[in-house]
Every structure is written in C-alpha cells, then in structure tokens.
Amino acid sequence: MKIVVLDGGTLNPGDLSWDGLTALGDTDLYDRTPPELVIERAKDADVILTNKVVIDRAVMEQLPNLKYISVLATGYNIIDTAFARERGIPVSNIPTYGTQSVAQMVMAHLLNLTQHVAYHAETVANGRWSRSDDWCYWDFPMIELYGLTLGVVGFGRIGRAVAEVGKAFGMKIVAFDEYVQDPGDPDVTMASFEDLLRCADVVTFHTPLTPQTEGMLNAETVKLMKKTAFVINTSRGPVIDNAALADALNAGLIAGAGLDVLDVEPPPIDHPLLKAKNCYITPHISWATRSARARLMQTTVDNVAAFIRGEALNVVN
C-alpha cells in the first residue's frame, strides 16, 4: 500500500509521530506540496492524505492507482467529492478532533475584544503604569459578558461547545442552523439568521462552507447587527464577505471582530481586514493545540487502517 502525505507539516511540525501511519504501508511524507508537484509525488499513491492541497477532477484523472483520500481536517471543500464518488474513491475527514480547542479560541477572541488583556499588559511592560497618576487605567471599554446574547451560527458539535462556554459566562444563547429545529437544550433559543443578527451582542460562526453559507454575512445582513456587536469567525473565511466586514468595521456599523480565518489564506498584504478598525486576526490556529492535533493524527491513522481492512470510517462522499 503506497501512502503519500502531501502537506503534513502543519499537523506535525515535529512534536508528534507519524509511526502509526508509516506502519500501515510504504509512506512518503511531505511538509508541503506546491500544485505543480502534486501529480509527480502522488502518481503511484493508493492513498493520499491532504490538508489544503486541492485534489480535483483534473488531478484524480492523472492518478490511476488512487483508491482513497483522507483529509487531515474537518472541512473537505478542497476535494471534488462527487467525482471521487464516480471513481469509487471514498473520501474521509476528521470530524471531531478540534471541538474544544476551537471553542477555546472563540472565547480567547471574545475576551480580547471585551478586555484587551494583551494590549494593557504591553502598556504596563512599557512602563506606563509606573508613570501613571492613577492606580489604574484602561484604553477601551471594559465589557462584562454576563447577560449578553451570544448568537451561534451553526449548531453542530463546535457550536454547541461554544454555547456551553457562553452559558458558563452567564450569556444568553440564540442559535441558527437550517438543519436543527430543536436544540435539545431549554437554555438555547433557535432563531432565523436575520433575527439572530438583530438580537445578538456577539455573533460566532461555526458553519461549513457551502454555496448556501458563502457570504452569509455581507453588506446587507451586517446592517441588521447592533452597532455594539462583535463578530467571531473560526469556521471558514468565505462565510463572511471580508470586504463588507472591513467596510462595516471602518464605518462603525459594528464594534469589532475576532477572526481566525480569512477568505484568502495566507492573505495578501493589502487584504482589507488587516487594517480594519478593531479587528484582530490570528493565523488559522484554533485547531492547532497539541491535544487537538494528536487526536487528528490518531483519527487519520484509524481512517487509513479501516480502509485497508476494507471498511470505511468518516466517509463524506
């Protein structure tokens, strides 16, 4: 069994082991693979593992030995799953590895927006408190989360985990999910997307990228939000119209944003959100705790081992 890992460098920068995978077959490991080298590196592969390297119809047509694709992530929009199904190639993902880590990052962004801990700590380190005439100071409004409304867009595993953390802070929870009518929690109120935007003090996105969700927060829908509201996105960058969000932030239509994803990654240096007012961006790292990556690695090994046994785990097509 020939196994090729096309871009494993972010999953395992050196603190995990590939031994579980290499025990399953002849394995080639690449930290990253540019598009022009995909065919050359994967031409003999029975199994491909990819994180962000695109495997579309044109690629699959040039890989006659390919029998299985395992995505090193939850999202699988980089794969032409329909064509893979036509070819009889199962595609698996990793559905649950990062739930708690992503929920933690949501709250990290929210606490940054409401209390600016790192900013104020930096001013202290630079000597400002030592020079202060008063015993305290703050440069941004200090905002208490208790009693505020957290709007959760997408009420799957991660959305539910975020809601639980929000409840621990005493927040009211409103959720939107076109596939969920009953949240199974008396403390959660389901609402339409538009009604959620109108009532929420914080809107956090946990929805996959589909034609229906792409650009769901845009120049028109953002106008429904409170001027004091915050946007958090740890799902997929294109579910938000990034240019429209930058315009809304700069015009003061909303109060701030905490983003771990953008519509283009890495972003160009002139990306509109990089200079937007009260916008804080992290480089797609909500999934990257060692605990989450270790779970991802183990589930990947389980996926491939199951395929070799003639079974199928976490198949999305």
Ranges of residues in the chain with a pLDDT under 70 are: none
Pair of tokens at residue 260:
């771990």
DSSP codes of every residue in 188-241? EEE--HHHHHHH-SEEEE-----TTTTT-B-TTGGGGS-TT-EEEE-S-GGGB-
Phi-psi group of 30: left, alpha or beta (phi > 0 → left; psi -120 to 50 → alpha; rest → beta): beta
Q: What is the pLDDT of residue 44?
A: 96
Secondary-structure percent of the chain, ordered helix, strand, coil, rounded to 5: 35, 15, 50
The residue assigned the tokens 């240096």 is: 269
Name the 3-class secondary structure at 118: helix
Tokens of 133: 């005439």
Where helices occur in the chain by DSSP H, the ranges are 19-22, 38-42, 57-60, 81-86, 99-115, 117-125, 128-131, 157-168, 193-199, 242-250, 290-308
Between the two ends of the chain, the Cα-to-Cα distance in Å is 22
Contact between residue 305 and residue 22 where contact means Cβ atoms under 8 Å apart? no
pTM of the model: 0.90
**Which pLDDT does position 212 carry in this prediction?**
93
Distance CA 206, CA 12 (A): 25
Give residue 96's pLDDT.
Answer: 86
Q: Give the separation between CA 219 and CA 299, rounded to whole angstroms.
A: 39
Helix axes 157-168, 99-115, angle to 10 degrees: 40
pLDDT, one tens digit per residue, over 87-105 is 999 999 998 899 999 999 9
How far, rounded to the nearest angstrom, does the alpha carbon of residue 187 sit from its chain's CA centroid?
Answer: 25
pLDDT number for residue 77: 87
Inter-residue contact 26 to 304 (CB < 8 Å):
no
pLDDT at 312: 84
Sheet holding 91-92, edge to edge: 26-29, 2-5, 47-50, 68-71, 91-92
CA dihedral (215, 218, 222, 228) in degrees, to 10, reads 80
| Residues annotated catalytic, as ranges | 236, 265, 284
> Which pLDDT belongs to residue 75?
85
> Which position has the token pair 């797609």?
284
Block residue for tokens 């509201």: 229
DSSP β-bridge partners for residue 173: 150, 188
